[in-house]
Amino acid sequence: MPFTKLGLSKQIQTAIKEKGYKEPTPIQEKVIPLFLQGHDIMAMAQTGSGKSASFVLPILELLSKNKTHTKSRIKVLVLTPTRELTLQVAETFDIFSTAFFEKPKVVALIGGESIGNQLYDIQQGCDILVATSGRFLDVLSKKQMNLSHLEYFILDEADKMLNLGFAEELELVLAAIPPRRQNLLFSATYPEKIREIASKITKNPIEVTIEEKQTVEKIHQRVIEVNRENRGPLLRQLLKENQWKLVLVFMANKRATDNIAEKFRKYGIQAASFNGDLLQEERNKTLSAFKEAKVNLLFATDIAARGLDIENIDCVINYDLPRSPSDYIHRIGRTARAGKSGTAISFISHEEQEHFKLIEKRSQISLKREQIQGFELIGEAKAKEKGPAPIKGKGKSKKDKLREKALKEATSQG
């Protein structure tokens, strides 16, 4: 179905064309008409599905049509789990509202920036408020924000918000906004807790689901068996062999991302780290450099797993495996965005075999194990406390000796 059939005005269609979208994604095709009809919606949508535009477009349409709206009052509240997603959603509103004569004012509320300035921005006139829930509640507690004109409430990536403790905050949010409003809730998964939250927020919602496969199928998923100490050298080898421009590498902890980025820079690779310790300004700078391919290799913690929207990531590497299957899906969803294809590679050693099997089972996938020449998995699964498996001993082959040399060169981070 083309965009022309979704009930959107000429103005918005022009903005869509300018943005370069040719046809709606499946989630947009379903959500846009329902939202325009005034329904509450619970949508199960995967990352990269085009979900932001599925609410941004009808909201802009409804705001532009309704002449009884009070100008410069908060009419839309979007809550998201991360700063990056907040900024991206706010930007999406900005991009599509350029076609309007009276452009609605969008304010993004995120941590790491001055609350005073954010309150000032709101008081200067705000139509659309996009916020992380924590910062929204901080600003709310100042009691200087008028939410009595609110008409649309969107909860984005509700499952992730729940993990961040949103269930307790929800009552505070609901007490602050008018009971009569239109609601939309997005979640990648629908455990019982999300249904509980949905029942508090929405009224007779229409449920929309999009096949997960439609997004994930475009990702070439690979699993490479490699000893943990050999992951760094293997990564360098893969970078040499492939023509990847942007590679996102997920690591288990913040310090590791800094250490390994520094190591790769020493090898002359444009690498940077991205983790929760960075100031907001540094986060923005790093992401811009990555988007512009001034940085080619980004080592990140899971804060980059959701919400991060960079169109041309060629490959996602799970240097360390994610904890949960849903994190796996979110991580690999950073590639193959906006209709493109991409590769996702998980490094697994003996210790990760069982955990990866669990990820496969829950995600209903089954992936072939590969080994790369010169980096073959050696040794056996060891007891946790024992440290790296010894590779010393008599009768070593030439290959083993080479491997040992590589191991010596490499530290545990790479």
- Residues of this chain that interact with ligand AMP (CB under 6 A) are 21, 24-25, 28, 48-53, 309, 311, 337-339
Closest distance of CB 198 from ligand AMP, Å? 20
Of 49 and 301, which CB lies nearer to ligand AMP in the complex structure? 49
Beta strands in 251-402 (DSSP E): 271-274, 297-300, 315-318, 342-348, 369-370
Which amino acid would we find at residue 113?
E
> What is the per-residue DSSP string for 220-246?
EEEEEE--GGGHHHHHHHHHHHS--S-
Of 156 and 225, which CB lies nearer to ligand AMP in the complex structure? 156
Round to whole Å and give the CA distance between 199 and 139.
26
Of 84 and 258, which CB lies nearer to ligand AMP in the complex structure? 84
Closest distance of CB 306 from ligand AMP, Å? 10
Closest distance of CB 338 from ligand AMP, Å? 4
CA atoms within 13 A on the CB side of 49: 29
Of 51 and 231, which CB lies nearer to ligand AMP in the complex structure? 51
Torsion sign (Cα): 343, 346, 347, 350: negative
Closest listed residue to residue 96, CA positions, set 20, 181, 182, 42: 20
Of 25 and 257, which CB lies nearer to ligand AMP in the complex structure? 25
Of 50 and 104, which CB lies nearer to ligand AMP in the complex structure? 50
Closest distance of CB 414 from ligand AMP, Å? 30
Closest distance of CB 213 from ligand AMP, Å? 16
3-state helix, strand, coil split of the chain in percent (to 5) is 45, 15, 40
Question: What tokens were used for 58?
Answer: 């009808």
Q: What is the chain's Cα-based Rg? A: 23
Residue 317 — φ and ψ, nearest 5°?
Answer: -115, 125
Closest distance of CB 344 from ligand AMP, Å? 16
